[in-house]
Structures are given as structure tokens and as C-alpha cells.
Amino acid sequence: MVELVEYRNLIGGELRQAASGQFLDAVNPATGEVFARVPAGEGADVDAAVAAARTAFPAWSALTADQRAAYLRKVAALFTEYGDELGRLETVDNGRIVRENVPRNGPGMTAMWTLAASQTLEAATGQTVVLGPNRLGLTRREPYGVIAAIIPWNAPISMLSAKAAFALAAGNTVVVKPAEQASVSVLRLGELLADVLPPGVLNIVSGLGRDAGEHLVRHPGISKITMTGSSETGRAIQRAAADTLTPSIFELGGKSPNIIFADADLEAAANGATVTSVFTGNAGQVCVAGSRILVQRPILAEMLGRIRAIAEKVVLGDPLDPATTMGPIISRAQYDRVVGYLETGAKEAELVFGGRHGAEVVPSLPGGYWVEPTLFLSEDNSPRICQEEIFGPVAVVIPFDTDDEALAIANDSRYGLAAGVWTRDLARVHRFLRDLDSGNVWVNIYRQTGQELPFGGIKDSGYGHDRVLEFTREKSAVIAT
């Protein structure tokens, strides 16, 4: 029997077991097998991490912008050196294909931490205003204190970086709670960070959400919360944080529309609505998945054919194999949830293709959590598969006739994270940019973000952005001269 690697939390610059000595199993979703063990952190571990972060805060926040930037550039260099290892480890942990994970966790994270380093001065810069002949007004930007960062399982390292890099740039210290379904790559990163950042500046505590996570968001030592995950979890955190009035940033779920007009580049639109949206290397387990594909009726038959042709070329299999283009569902629980929607969809709408799941999809890996690309067709937006976030490789096509109808269908959702518009009509583009209920809109492209741009949603998709200025608060002063 192969001995499992046991990982440790990072608390106060030290690698520690959970205070209880207990572990959680890390399961490879492509095989269903346990491949490592991670700490089952609880309240005592969170208390220690928050205490370490609070102890480190005065010295870290007192550094000059250039001094903090130097540390962040050292972190960026880690991803240049270890990006391949971290990407492959994350692939084993969450099933996202290696040819996506390695670039994200190598050059992608190097760029993100370098960008954060370049913004340390912005986070420390206030304003000066002349209020009169003998009065001067000024503002100071100051860090909050200790930031709690709750990160999801579909992109652990990039989500940690999006939160921690900018929070640290602003002078805060951080306690990270990774998702229990995929903590291994984050804990390995913690081993590397222990040798780069001052003790306590960034801490990592793995454990169940109901234990470590809930204790963290209720902790009176936390000054702000940033969380990416489901809308249900976001609401639970907001209720938990109400007693301490802790401000929060939430990037939550979505049911994003991809709106394809008859005048669009149909080849580009078909690819944008599938392989870059919902039939992805992460099996559609992305918050911005354009899982509602709105198609103008004159091109409906052609688009269905184009989408089917693309889906037939998707290769499911070992996510470490460069030939694989789509990986497994993250866990048994999520697999069961997606399969439940397949069954619901078959009753609510017309199955265009797909629907198979389990061992028959990838016979060589029968223990994995496999769901093949699946497409439904619905004449309206009312079915559950049109209204609820599935978080799997499942999409539904909804026909429309007019611009007004497309806009009404697109906005008929409790979510408002992202939307895609495919058209050559510039006037239409401007109207939809204005009228779509969405925090992010892509035109003739999909799921292409820029680290320099804010990213967040509205309605049940959350509020706020993981940007450097959101990790500062302004203090005003008036000085009589």
C-alpha cells in the first residue's frame, strides 16, 4: 500500500497538524481514490491562525509600499518556479485538465502577484483638498486588518491569489480557508510561502466548512470577509457575519446567458457557447458558465448542429493526459447533484444530446465522477434547468425572436454574474451592455477576463470585487493651518 502524503496547515509561519490531530481524505475525482490527507481544522486552528494574523498585522501594515511590493514579487517568482508542480497537483485534486491548470498556476499567477505588487502604492495613496484659506482636507487609505478568504474548489490557487495578493498589497494580513474538496494544492503553496512571507502574514487552515469555515467568518478578530462560492453559502456567511457587522465581498453563483443573434459569426459563437463556456476542461464547473444558450430562431437548427459537432469532439479522460479536453465532476456529492438535473431536464425539456454519466462515459476510469456534455432544448425559461445553477457540463438552448425577447429571457434570473452577446450590430451591442442585469458582459468572445478589470456580480451573484482598493478604507481629516 502506498503511504499517503499528509499535508499541514500554515499558521504563524509554521506548518502544523490540526489541533485535534484529525485528517480529511483528499479524493482524486478522476478515479474516486484517496491520494492524500489534509488537516481537519476546527475552531482551535482558526483561533490560532487569526491570532497569528493579528500579531503580524502591525509590522506588515507599517511597511512601505515598496517593501510590501518586494515580498509580493518574491511570491510571484514562486509560481514561475513551481507553477508546473502546483498545476499538476491541482489537477489530481480537482480534476481540471492539466493543460488548463499549469498555465493558470504558472504564468497566470506570476502575472497576478506582479500586478498586485504594482498596486501597493495605489493602496497607500490618499487625497489632499484645499477647503479654505486656513483649512486643509486629506484622506488616508488604511488596511482593514485581518481578511478571511474563503475559496472554492474549482480554481483553488487562482482564487487564493485573487484574494490574498491584493489584500496583502493593501497592508492586510490574511487567513485562507480552502474548500475541503480541494485543499491539497493550496496547502502545498503554503509550504512554499512559509519561506517567503513573514510569519503570520498569510495563514491557511483546511477543514470542513461547518467547522473551520463557520468559525472563521464568525470570528471577532476578522475585519473583512472575501468569499467565492455558491449563493447559498454566501447567504449563510452573511447571516453568520451579521453579529459582528463584518463587511464582505461575495462572488457567487450564476446562470449566465449566451445570446446568439442571426448576424453573428456562428462558428465563433458556437465555440464561445461550448468549449469556452460550459463544455470546459473543468466540466462546466465554473461560475460564469454560459449554461443558458439563447439562439435567434432563424439559426436555431444550424446552431444545434454546430454545438453537437463540437460536443462530439470533446475528449473525457485522465485530466493529466494532454489529449483530454474535459475532466470529471469534483466529488460524489456534486456528481449526484448533476445527475439529478439530468433526470429533471429529461422531464422538463427535450434532450438534444448527451445525458450519459458514470463508468460508461470513461470505462478506463470507472471510479471517476464522469458526466458527458449534455444539451437540452426548452421553448421557454421556466424549467429548473434554466433557472438553477447546475455546475456541470449541462446547457440548455432557448430560442427567441426579437431583441426585446432575448433581453427579457436573459434577465429572467435571480443571478447576474455574466453574459455573452454575439452580434455584428453595434447599436445592439450598446443596448445590451446597458440593459443586461450582469456584472460582466462579453461581446463576440466569452470567459476572457483581464486581471486589471474588476470581476463580480449583482443580484444573487454577489457584490464587491477582489481589487486592492476594496481591501482599504478611507479616513478623512481636516487640518487647520
* Cα→Cα distances 411→24, 94, 264, Å: 41, 32, 21
CA proximity to 18, closest of 44, 50, 36 = 44
Q: Quick one: angle between helices 184-193 and 65-94, nearest 10?
A: 150
CA distances from 59 to 11, 55, 71, 198, 200 (A): 17, 8, 13, 9, 11
Among all residues, which ones are annotated catalytic? 251
Cell of 468: 486592492
For 53-56, which contacts have Cβ atoms below 8 Å and span 24 or more sequence positions? 53/146, 53/173, 53/174, 53/175, 53/200, 53/201, 53/203, 53/221, 54/145, 54/146, 54/173, 54/221, 55/12, 55/200, 56/12, 56/173, 56/198, 56/199, 56/200, 56/201
Give the pairing type, strands 440-443 and 458-459.
unpaired
CA–CA distance from 265 to each of 257, 289, 433, 449 (Å)? 17, 20, 19, 21
Which set of grid coordinates corresponds to residue 249? 465581498
Closest CA to 306 of 263, 268, 249: 268
* DSSP-derived 3-state class of residue 340: helix
Grid cell 449541462 in the structure block, residue? 394
Count of CB atoms situated within 10 Å of the CB of 451 = 17
**Hunting for cell 482558526 — which residue is that?**
46
Phi first, then psi: what are they for 117, rounded to 5°?
A: -60, -35
Residue 354 region, left (φ>0) first, then alpha (ψ -120 to 50), else beta?
left
CB 371 within 8 A of CB 278: no
CA distance 149 to 249: 10
Q: Are 375 and 307 in contact (CB under 8 A)?
A: yes
Q: How many CA atoms lie within 13 A of 64 on its CB side?
A: 3
